[in-house]
Amino acid sequence: MIRRATQQDVQFIHDLLADYGRKGELLARPRTELYEFLRDFMVAEDDAGRTVGFAALHLCWENLAEVRSLAVLPDQQGKGWGGKLVEACLSESLTLGFGQVFALTMRPEFFVRFGFAEVDKQRLPNKIWADCTKCVKFPDCDEIAMLLEL
């Protein structure tokens, strides 16, 4: 099941982002920021009600949204949770009237399955780079920009 995140999910989101952040795979985020953008997040729950992953749809600019902070527990990867979360983000984007969705990723092949195509990062508005200054890899970003026209 995919559902909207609640305040009870913040600790799980924070901890899993921190784990992936230590590995350099995702941007860890402070709890204050997670509460501020809690409405962006959706979580995946297995049949037993255990939270197994999450993703956020961040509205960036006119007609442009971002799938960000996509994470699934390591023991739950390969079971389709990431795909379900991306599909939920894309559905939300359409509902809100946003026609373009991008992702910055080190796994472009995952996003290709949903119709995303690689684009030059310079094609994205400067506004999206605000979070990049918080990354340990800044300014030597090795993520690939992927864009989907809905």
Determine the distance from the C-alpha atom of residue 103 to the mean position of all C-alpha atoms in its chain, rounded to a whole number: 7
Among 23-32, 92-101, 127-136, whose mean pLDDT is lowest?
127-136
Q: Residue 106's domain spans which residues? A: 2-149
Residues 104, 115: Cα–Cα separation, whole Å: 15
Q: How far apart are CA 28 and CA 69, in angstroms?
A: 9
At residue 84's C-alpha, the angle toward residues 78 and 134, to 5°, is 85
The mean predicted confidence, pLDDT, of the chain is 91
Q: Give the whole-angstrom CA distance, residue 38 versus residue 136.
A: 23
Q: What is the DSSP letter of 28?
A: -
Q: What is the mean pLDDT of residues 34-56?
A: 97
Q: Has residue 134 got a pLDDT over 70? A: no
Q: In this structure, what CATH number is given to the domain that contains residue 31?
A: 3.40.630.30
Say if CB 43 and CB 3 are below 8 A apart: yes
How confident is the model over 10-24, as a mean pLDDT?
95
What is the number of structural domains in the chain? 1
DSSP state of 61: E
CA 108, CA 15: separation in Å to the nearest integer?
24
